[in-house]
Structure 1
């Protein structure tokens, strides 16, 4: 079976997008997803994105990390899908419905309201998610927030100085986080400007993480009393995040189509 794909990226966070809205695909296993994502023997990507028909929305977006695990949300992929779709739409994800609006070489995406309850993250036991009494090495007292997928945010003096390759996987897989966690380290570099690095659950260090930028902006507005929109600078570039309490988070930034191709399904099955 010959399958078409589109390779895209948002600030260097890259995706292989399969459009199964008309071309029906076989079931996607964790092994197939990780084989396609493999940068040495597959097409190579941080996330595999599959677009499917939806009974309740314009279509459904499914997201598989490079390790093959299916996850709830991906902000950068949402912008890429908005650009690919080419018109405003409300779509279904495992993390809830999100609104897409392509614009100026990228898109704005309304990803929904953040959640702060300990069992919505989820954590293994109850604690104050606004100032968690936990730490790993030099990283202490994070904020936890679910923005469709779970994040902890550590505010530090210098985000570049943190050994995130060492601490990231320790925190991601800590028993405190039964569904694992995305790890963000952030520094304030301006009045409404954050510098951010992310260890992404199931993908590792990444050039950009849209939901990480959203979670960090929410945390900065909550803890540092920033006023949105907040500019979040990641290694791959900048995103603008707007949020007011009680409202949906809106992320705006670029997305790019890299190339298109096709492959034989059995090569990865």
Structure 2
């Protein structure tokens, strides 16, 4: 007989995860649990599993571990971090509206934006500085690529590499709606150009500083939104002269506001976080 675990299903702009407070439960095999519970037919259904913990590290209030639907562990997730901000505040785990969250990509600051009923309406995340060159994540001579050409499925695509704690390859196209995201994204994710696989974004301009983006997420496939992907898209658009340092990223599940601050070089992401439902599952 397995133990019963209480969970919350939450989403940020449609990017949905299963959240468990590990101060209440021991989760010995999170990768396997993520695979089972993320199944949308036989499990709870979601893009992965997020474990919330109390931080023992000075300078951080809580910790986040995130496992994709295929069981792989991610370094960072912008949408999940926003949901954690809402979770810990509305569950009474903290009364702070500025929260330090320890992730595998470092400590992130969450600013909770409250409504008139003292509920979390949206969350702003300091995603810190983007990384534009990393030879561990991109197999080029200098670990960078801006509007670089890659041939995939017989097509030449041009993309820009941006890491927001996890790697992204942003491809601008005339119309993102017409792109075969499943075919091109799945192929690009495992391209030898990306030694640790990669998140792939297909983006097109909707207007001034407004960008339509569709996502193939490493380890999860097509997702409704990706917070780090929205940040990477905004940075890539600014780098290539397609937008300014502030942009609205329109994804399948909603819109995120991204600001790449000139003063500190940090990327700030603002967007919604919502509870979907709560329940109990048996952990075999």
Bucket of the pairwise TM-score, normalised by the shorter protein = over 0.9
After TM superposition, the score normalised by the length of structure 2 is 0.89
The answer on whether the counterparts of 1:97 and 1:112 sit within 8 Å (CA) in structure 2 is: no
Q: How far 1:154 sits from its partner (Å)?
A: 0.5
Instruction: Return closer, same or farther for 1:141/1:118 CA change in 2, 3 Å cut-off.
Output: farther
SS of equivalent to 2:197: coil
Aligned equivalent of 2:216, options 183, 189, 199: 199
1:125 maps onto 2:140 in alignment: yes
Q: Does residue 88 of structure 2 align to residue 85 of structure 1?
A: yes
Q: Counterpart in 1 of 2:31?
A: 30
Decide whether the 8 Å contact of 1:118 with 1:126 is kept in 2.
Answer: no
Gap runs ≥5 in structure 2: 90-96, 116-120
Tell me if 1:248 matches 2:263: no
Distance 1:219 1:203 in 2: 22
Q: What displacement does 1:248 show? A: 1.4
Q: Distance in 1 between matches of 2:39 and 2:213?
A: 26
**Does the alignment pair 1:143 with 2:160?**
yes
- What does residue range 1-269 of structure 1 map to in structure 2 within 5 Å? 1-20=3-22, 22-56=23-57, 57-86=60-89, 87-103=97-113, 104=115, 105-119=121-135, 122-127=137-142, 128-136=144-152, 137-245=154-262, 246-266=264-284
What is the deviation of 1:133?
3.5
CA-based RMSD of the aligned residues comes to 1.5
SS at match of 1:126: coil
Work out whether residues 149 and 156 of structure 2, in 8 Å CA contact, stay in contact via their aligned partners in 1. Answer: no
**TM-score when scaled to structure 1?**
0.93
1:90 and 1:230 map into 2 onto residues whose CA distance is 25
Structure 1, unmatched stretches of 5+, are none
SS at match of 1:141: strand
Q: CA deviation at 1:139?
A: 4.9
Q: Name the SS for the 2:33 alignment partner.
A: helix
In the alignment, the residues of structure 2 paired with residue 250 and residue 149 of structure 1 have an alpha-carbon distance, to the nearest angstrom, of: 16
Aligned partner of residue 252 in structure 1, secondary structure: strand
* Residues 63-100 of structure 1 deviation map (CA, whole Å, 9 limit, x = unaligned): 00011111111111111111112232111101111111
